[in-house]
């Protein structure tokens, strides 16, 4: 699965057989659209947008085919631009 993010491509691998726990990053469908969200269990089970945590999606608010599709296992990113520099102060 490729996702366009800030003019870069990310490669996301997920596993449908894994069960999400609180704080897991998941691939989910919201209003029949695949999204990468955070799975939260407190105060009730809901999904949060990763960039805007105040944007929450209750699991029962949308169409019945919506829900968690899989748990993100790996995220690969092109680091040639120095985004993941190990000395950020330089």
Q: Is residue 49 part of a domain?
A: yes
Q: Which domain holds residue 51?
A: 2-77
pLDDT tens, the chain, 90 aa long: 444 445 555 678 889 888 999 999 999 888 778 888 999 988 888 899 988 888 888 876 554 556 888 899 887 766 666 665 555 555
User: Kind of pairing, strands 56-58 and 2-5?
Assistant: unpaired
Does the model's pTM come out above 0.85? no
Cis peptide before 2 (omega within 30 of 0): no
Any idea what the CATH number is for the domain that residue 56 is in? Answer: 2.10.109.10
Give domain status of residue 84, yes or no: no
85 found inside a domain = no
Number of domains comprising the chain: 1
**Residue 40 lies inside a defined structural domain of this protein:** yes
Three-state secondary-structure class, residue 83: coil
Does some domain include residue 87?
no
Q: Is 77 helix (H, G, I), strand (E, B) or coil?
A: strand
């Amino acid at each position: 699965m490729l996702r366009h993010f800030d003019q870069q491509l990310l490669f996301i691998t997920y596993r449908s057989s894994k069960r999400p726990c609180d704080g897991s990053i998941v691939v989910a469908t919201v209003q029949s659209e695949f999204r990468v969200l955070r799975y939260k269990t407190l105060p009730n089970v809901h999904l949060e947008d990763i960039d805007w945590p105040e944007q929450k999606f209750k699991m029962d608010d949308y169409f019945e085919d919506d829900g968690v599709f899989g748990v993100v296992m790996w995220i690969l990113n092109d680091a040639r631009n120095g985004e993941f520099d190990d000395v950020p102060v330089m």
